[in-house]
Amino acid sequence: MSRPVGTFISLESPRMKSCCCCLKLKTGVVIISILWILYGIYQATANFLAFQNRNNNTDNFFSYVSTFAIIEGILSLFTVIGALYGLLVVSFANRIRLFQKYVIIAWIIALIQCSINIAEIIILVSRKNSYIQYCESINYTEDMCLSTYNILVPIEIAQDLFMIIISIYFATVVAAYRAHRHEKESSAGIL
C-alpha cells in the first residue's frame, strides 16, 4: 500500500531549535533583546548628535541626511522600548500571551530596521551628485570624491543588506522561541 504524497512532504518548515546553531532559543532571545537595546541606544544617540551638529546649508548632501537622522533616531528609540519589553518578558514573566506581543514587536523592529537600511541605500545612491558637491566643497578634488563614493557605496550596501538579514533572523528566533514555549505549555496543560 503506497503512502499519500502529503505524508512525505510537509508544508510546515522545520522548527528552529537553536539560535546561531549553538545557543538555546531562550538564551538567544535574551542576547538578541540586549543587542537590539544597545544598537537602538547607539543609533538614537548617533542620529540625534548628527542632527544637532548638522550643517545649516540646505543645498548639500546632508540636508537629506539630517532629516533622516531625526526619523531614524526616533525609530531607534522605539526599538529600544520594544526590546526592553521583550527582555523583561523573557527574563521575568515568560508567559505565552505576553511573549506573543513580543513576537509582534520583534517583527515590527525587523521592519523598522529593514526600512532604515533600505532608506540609507536609496539616499546614498540617489544623492550621488550632492555627495560629490559636498565633498568638493571641503577642498577635495572631484576624483578623490568620486573614488571615496565608489568605495563607500558597495560597503554601505553590503552592511545594510547584512543588517536586513540579521534583523529578519532575529525576529525569526523570537518567533521560534514563542512557538517552542507554546508547545511546552500546551503539553503541560498550562495554557
10-residue mean pLDDT series, the chain (191 residues) = 46 63 85 94 89 61 72 92 93 81 93 92 87 81 88 94 94 88 72 54
Residue 1 lies in a domain: no
- Whose cell is 508567559? That residue is 95
**Residue 10 within a domain:** no
Residue 81 lies in a domain: yes
Number of independent structural domains in the chain: 1
pLDDT, position 10: 38
Q: Would 5 be classed as within a structural domain? A: no
pLDDT at position 70 is: 87
d(CA 152, CA 180): 42
Its domain, for residue 155, covers 24-188
Is residue 86 situated within a structural domain?
yes
**Contact between residue 189 and residue 125 where contact means Cβ atoms under 8 Å apart:** no
Looking at the domain assignment, is residue 126 inside a domain?
A: yes
Question: Does 7 fall in a domain?
Answer: no
- Helix ranges (H only) for 53-95 are 62-88
In a domain, 116, yes or no: yes
